[in-house]
Each structure stands twice: as structure tokens, then as C-alpha cells.
Amino acid sequence: MINEVHDRSEQSMASLVGGIVDDVQTLIKQQLKLTRHEIESDLRKTKEAATMLILGAGILFIGAIVFCLGLVHLLHWVGNPAPSDPTRLPWWACYGIVSVAILVLGGIVAGVGRARFAAIKPLDNTAEGLKENVEWATNPK
């Protein structure tokens, strides 16, 4: 009878250890799934932010070209002694207005892209979850 009790305690101890091992395996699988999901999410956010940043840089480039053309017209206007154009706004002013509008739009779009990049925290949740899992595995309650 004593042998039977001893065998039962060994079986329950073995099943307890087996259950712990199964729990750890399940935890590791869940951690890997979380990591994969978070990496995919971070890549998607990075792609969106890069698209906004590239779009903003392209708009800024176009605005800079228009601004340079406006400067050329300003130089021509300054060098021209008599106004030969009957319009109220000279060419350089027209180019300046358009280029400032384009530069402001490009700056806003680039700023949004930069803010999206700053908001990305790669593997933040995964690192915190992994830390909790390690604490749980090393100090079970």
C-alpha cells in the first residue's frame, strides 16, 4: 500500500512537470506569434510613414524648383528698368506665391511622415511580454 502511494506521487509529480513543460511550450508559441504579428504591424507602419515622407520630399523638391524659377524672374524684373508687363503682379511674385504654397504643403506632408516614423516603437509589446514571461518562468508563484 505504501508503494502505491509512492507511485501515485511520482505520477502526479511527473504529470505536474509535464503540465509545466506544456505551459512553457504554449507560452513560447504564443510569444512567437505575438512577435511575428508585431513585426508585421511595424513593417506596415514603417511603409506608410516612408510613403508619406517620400511624398513630402517630392513635393518639397517641386516647390524648390518653382522657387528657383521665381528667383530667376525676380532677377529679370530687378534688371528691367521699365515695367513692360501691364499686369499687377510680376512673374516673380506669381512664382513666389505658388512655390510658397507648394513648399508649405510639402513641409506638412513630410512632417506627418516624420511624426509617423517617430510614433513607431518596434517590438515594444513583444519585449514587454517577453520580460513578463521570463519573470514568470524564473519566479513562479
CB atoms near residue 98 (< 10 Å): 15
Q: Grid coordinates in use for 91?
A: 512673374
pLDDT of 34 over the 70 cut? yes
In a domain, 60, yes or no: yes
User: What pLDDT score does 62 carry?
Assistant: 92
In a domain, 38, yes or no: no
In a domain, 125, yes or no: yes
In a domain, 135, yes or no: yes
Q: Helices in 80-140 by DSSP H: which ranges? A: 91-119, 124-138
pLDDT of 8 over the 70 cut? no
Q: Whole-model pTM? A: 0.61
In a domain, 72, yes or no: yes
In a domain, 138, yes or no: yes
pLDDT digits (tens, 9 = 90+) for 37-75: 888 988 998 899 899 999 999 999 999 998 888 888 887
Q: Grid coordinates in use for 63?
A: 516647390
In a domain, 9, yes or no: no
pLDDT of 114 over the 70 cut? yes
pLDDT digits (tens, 9 = 90+) for 83-96: 666 667 777 888 88
H/E element, 72: helix 2-79
**By residue range, what is the domain housing residue 60?**
47-141
Task: Read off the amino acid at residue 110.
Answer: A
How many domains does the structure of the chain reveal?
1
In a domain, 29, yes or no: no
